Amino acid sequence: MIRKTASANWQGGLKDGQGKVSTQSGVLDSEDFGFNKRFGDQPGTNPEELIAAAHASCFSMALSMVLGEGGHTAEHLATEAEVSLEKTDEGFTITASHLKLTATVPGATEDEIRTAAETAKKNCPVSRLLKAEISLEVTVG
């Protein structure tokens, strides 16, 4: 079993407070997060941005695996994930993650790439973790 950790420290109230987030690897080391970074335009990170980064990277790795199982190696996979946070009856909820892929895979047909992308979308661990609608847009270059 693989386990990875991250930590968050918070001080203050919701709107005037300040947080710091760090990851086990040190890639994030006391990075600022807070209400205005999440709901406004202040620089810093937020949970939705971090989930989008996790989803884009997980999907890209899963797609590389699926393509490899089909005998193909990607020249380039560029994935953008857009995570939506909406106010619902239950409160603020992450309702969707939209993956946008541009793929260059020599020797693979467009249908092979699209099928592999759908398989990766369905089976990457972050996709399975999210209970939100997950959509996918593919551009083959």
Residue ranges per domain, the chain? 6-39, 47-140
pTM, 2 dp: 0.90
Grouped pLDDT means (10 residues each) for the chain, 141 residues: 93 94 94 90 90 96 97 97 94 94 97 97 93 88 85
- CA–CA separation, 109 vs 121, rounded Å? 18
Q: What is the architecture, at CATH level 2, of domain 47-140?
A: 2-Layer Sandwich (3.30)
Q: Which residues contact 119 (CB under 8 A, 6 or more apart)?
A: 66
